[in-house]
Amino acid sequence: MRKATIALLVICTAVFAQQKGTFTDERDKKKYKTVNIGGFTWFAENLSYNAEGSKCYEDKPANCTKYGRLYNWETAKTACPSGWNLPVKEGWDALKASAGGIDIAGKKLKAKSGWPKNGNKSGNGTDDFGFSALPSLGDYSNWWNADEHEKHKNSAWILNVAAATEKTGQVAQYKSNFYSIRCLQETAEEVKAKVDSIKKAHFEAAVGKQFNPKIKYGSMTDERNQITYKTIKIGKQTWFAENLNYNEKGSKCYNDYDDSYCKINGRQYDGETAMKVCPSGWHLPSKEEWDALIASVGGEKIAGKKLKAKSGWEADGGKSYNGTDDFGFSALPSDIFYSGVNFTTSGFGIIGGWWSTETDETNAKFAYSREINKYKDVVEKSVRPKDGSQKNYVHVRCVQD
């Protein structure tokens, strides 16, 4: 996996004002609204430059006026005006992370009106950041990015937002398809440099600060590598109060960086490795043990807030999303790697996830994790591939035998 392909775990959304502006394309004198989201400047509407290799949805000029033009990928690569760029995946990941991660970014990026209903529910969004996405393809929108698929060279990546969901999707589509364009002011190199700088500062600021000073922690030393971990008893169970950091095959540091990142938030493990990586006398928690933990801290509706650390979760719009850490679990946000597709679900500062031994009932290659989103007080279950070409890498919390 190449570096800087994470879903921008570290976009510090509170740092940047959402500055709005305008830009005039000198090629045809069309004026576009722009918006700064998470420190990156985007078109706030779809490109509508009439380039060869573009067309209107359903070949209706009115759709070009309302939604912008659609482009095949080869045209899209060079369609943005001078000083603007077709976004790389890191740019899209920065946007998703700034909007709360893939589970809710769709709702926050969609315009407040103009989307068809999803059954009896409105398909409109909240447009919290001024991105003002409209359904340029009927009941969904796809936007090209500049990256072609790593293995299938006839395909390239797109970002998807649909009326039917609050989520965003990032998938590969044939280059011959016609999709929308959102231009990004920063170049690929500038995006990657800015992301690396922000995330490094965030990690360094987090060292050792996640623990609750009012809690009396225990400790255990892993005899395999002599690393000492804080532990905490919650209910009848004793847990690691930090993520495991044992360097086993099938694990990695965040974004393939050096061990300094693992020292802050532990290593990430594929699901098969996670099942057997805890030290002697400790094990990966089962469904029942996760359920007992969640019940001990007040139930799933508030467990996320109770388990989150009191620092390390990104503020947004002047509002803090840190937890109360009432029980010393001291959970930090993390990132989740997707093997083989080179992108992640969200970002550091947004979501924390930890494996369970619970295997999916319908497919043994999938297992469950427990996850906390900064915007929510709950603890949620997510099923993730633990094996195969699309396996995920998630953190581990060990519980005592």
Q: Which domain holds residue 86?
A: 20-199
Are 231 and 357 part of one and the same domain?
yes
Please give the C-alpha separations between residue 77 and each of 20, 67, 95, 349, in angstroms, as whole numbers.
25, 19, 19, 31
- Is 204 a residue whose pLDDT tops 80? no
- Is 158 a residue whose pLDDT tops 90? yes
Are 157 and 213 part of one and the same domain?
no
Are 222 and 265 part of one and the same domain?
yes
* Closest to 313 in 3D by CA, of 334, 337, 328, 336: 334
What are the tens digits of pLDDT across the range 309-331?
998 887 665 677 889 999 999 99
Are 164 and 281 part of one and the same domain?
no
Domain final residue, candidates 199, 229, 260: 199
Q: Angle at CA 77, nearest 5°, toward 76 and 82?
A: 100
What are the tens digits of pLDDT across the range 359-388?
888 888 889 999 998 889 999 998 887 877
DSSP string, 173-209: EETTS-BB---BSS-HHHHHHHHHHHHHHHHHHHTT-
Are 263 and 333 part of one and the same domain?
yes
Strand boundaries in 47-154, DSSP class E:
54-55, 70-71, 140-148
Q: Which residues contact 369 (CB under 8 A, 6 or more apart)?
A: 353, 354, 355, 356, 381, 382, 383, 384, 392, 394
In a domain, 55, yes or no: yes
In a domain, 6, yes or no: no
Give dist(CA 398, CA 29) in Å, integer. 60
Q: If pLDDT is split at 50, 70 and 90, which confidence band does 12 have?
A: very low
Place of tokens 């396996």: 391
- Is 277 a residue whose pLDDT tops 60? yes
Q: If pLDDT is split at 50, 70 and 90, which confidence band does 345 have?
A: very low
In a domain, 231, yes or no: yes
Give dist(CA 152, CA 331) in Å, integer. 38
Give dist(CA 166, CA 125) in Å, integer. 8
Q: Which residues contact 42 (CB under 8 A, 6 or more apart)?
A: 34, 35, 36, 95, 131, 182, 183, 184, 185
Check: CB of residue 268 under 8 Å from CB of residue 254: yes
| Phi, psi torsion values for 49, nearest 5 degrees | -80, 130
Model pLDDT, residue 326: 96
* Mean per-residue pLDDT over the chain, rounded: 87
Are 284 and 353 part of one and the same domain?
yes
Give the three-class secondary structure for 64. helix
Are 227 and 173 part of one and the same domain?
no
- Is 4 a residue whose pLDDT tops 50? no
Query: For residue 39, is it left (φ>0), alpha (ψ between -120 and 50) or beta?
Result: left
Q: If pLDDT is split at 50, 70 and 90, which confidence band does 285 have?
A: very high
In a domain, 5, yes or no: no
Q: Angle at CA 95, nearest 5°, toward 90 and 97?
A: 90
In a domain, 4, yes or no: no
Q: If pLDDT is split at 50, 70 and 90, which confidence band does 2 have?
A: very low
Q: Which residues contact 208 (CB under 8 A, 6 or more apart)?
A: none
Task: Give me the number of domains the chain comprises.
Answer: 2
Model pLDDT, residue 6: 31
Strand boundaries in 241-385, DSSP class E:
251-252, 268-270, 282-283, 337-338, 351-359, 366-373, 380-385
| Strand pairing class (40-43; 30-37) | antiparallel
Domain final residue, candidates 177, 199, 221: 199
Domain final residue, candidates 199, 230, 263: 199
Give dist(CA 99, CA 96) in Å, integer. 5
Q: pLDDT over 70 for what percent of the chain?
A: 86
Give dist(CA 14, CA 89) in Å, integer. 22
In a domain, 12, yes or no: no
In a domain, 261, yes or no: yes
Distance of CA 150 to the CA centre of its chain: 20
Check: CB of residue 125 under 8 Å from CB of residue 191: no
Are 211 and 182 part of one and the same domain?
no
Are 86 and 230 part of one and the same domain?
no
Are 229 and 284 part of one and the same domain?
yes
What are the tens digits of pLDDT across the range 207-256?
667 899 999 999 999 999 999 999 999 999 999 999 999 999 999 887 66
Are 153 and 217 part of one and the same domain?
no
Give me the amino acid identity at 131. Answer: F
In a domain, 9, yes or no: no
Are 262 and 218 part of one and the same domain?
yes
| Phi, psi torsion values for 83, nearest 5 degrees | 90, 0
Q: If pLDDT is split at 50, 70 and 90, which confidence band does 206 have?
A: low
